[in-house]
Amino acid sequence: MNQTFVYRKHLRASFSSFIKAVLLLILGIAIIAFGLLFTNQRERTVEDTIAIVIVFVIVILIVLILMLLEVGIIYLILLRRFRSISVTLTDDGIVYNNSKKQIIIPYEDVQKLVFPSVKYTGGWIKIVYRGGNIRLTVVLEHIGDFIYELKKKMDDREMSHVYNEKKLISFFKTAVFADESWARIYHNYKLQLVISYICLIMTTVMIRGFNDSSNSKSFIYGALLAPLLGYLISEIIIGLKLKKRLIIGELRVSPRVPEFEQKVFNISIMVFSLGYLLLLFFWLIVQ
């Protein structure tokens, strides 16, 4: 049975989806910039305040336009091509498609599988065949299944010499973790953004309320980092569990436990975000 693999949906998204992502990023930048301005305690006249607001809006609009142009260029040059890329494992070989051509690689023509990667971080598989090579990154959807099936095809043909088993298993772990991590990002990114925005706003309000602008820049940047650290810690905890899920003797992992992963994410991001706000509150009290 043929299996076709494509890149993840954020790489195959329409340009309008990238515009939405830019708008969300600009919103975050605007909240940070507003916080830095709002917590500055220098005396200002009404005219000065109006002028600052006008300049603020103009700068944000300029940044928005520049970012849209940059994203547009990146989309046309780099990202748009992912929409047409697919790789299919058939009974006889690998069929690789992109916007320009189709490459058919009989399994017998595969000379080497190379796995340049950083464990649990990223990388790609390079399939070297007679006449060239193709590269597939860990952002390929279900790349763990792809590695498993490709290895099976090689082993069925007694071609295990084309890969280093230790490096293949290491890449497989990285691929599975990346695949599952992207699934978690798709599920949690809205909550991540909301908590990040709330943390920034609450930090700004507290600094302003206590009339302490001496370290406002550091406090606001800390509010940006706290939810991000919560996310990173949750990924580390979940990643540590991946090794235990590896089925000994097979290139397989036991199924995910989404409830556990969600619990770890929720606790981590709330502990870091609320913890940061509480520490800031007590810091401002004692000053």
Domains and CATH numbers, the chain: 82-174 (2.30.29.30)
Per-residue pLDDT of the chain (287 residues; tens, 9 = 90+): 788 999 988 888 777 888 888 888 888 888 888 887 777 656 666 666 677 778 878 888 888 888 888 888 888 887 778 888 999 999 999 999 988 889 999 999 999 999 886 665 668 899 999 989 999 988 899 988 999 999 999 999 999 999 998 888 888 888 888 889 999 999 999 999 999 999 999 999 888 887 766 778 889 999 999 999 999 999 999 988 887 887 766 778 888 899 999 999 999 999 999 999 999 998 888 77
Rounded (10°) CA dihedral 198, 200, 201, 202: 80
Name the region of 67 (left: φ>0; alpha: ψ -120 to 50; beta: rest). alpha
Beta bridge partners of 86: 6, 97
In this prediction, residue 4 carries a pLDDT of: 93
In this prediction, residue 227 carries a pLDDT of: 96
Interatomic CA distance for residues 184 and 230, integer angstroms: 14
**How many CB atoms within 10 Å of residue 47?**
8
- CB under 8 Å to 264, separation ≥6 — which residues? 234, 237, 238
Interatomic CA distance for residues 84 and 170, integer angstroms: 29
Backbone angles phi, psi at 4, to 5 degrees: -110, 135
Interatomic CA distance for residues 88 and 5, integer angstroms: 6
Interatomic CA distance for residues 217 and 192, integer angstroms: 22
In this prediction, residue 51 carries a pLDDT of: 76
In this prediction, residue 175 carries a pLDDT of: 87
In this prediction, residue 262 carries a pLDDT of: 95
The DSSP output letter for 63 is: H
In this prediction, residue 11 carries a pLDDT of: 80
Angle (deg, nearest 10), helices 15-38 and 46-77: 150
Rounded to two decimals, what is the model's pTM? 0.81
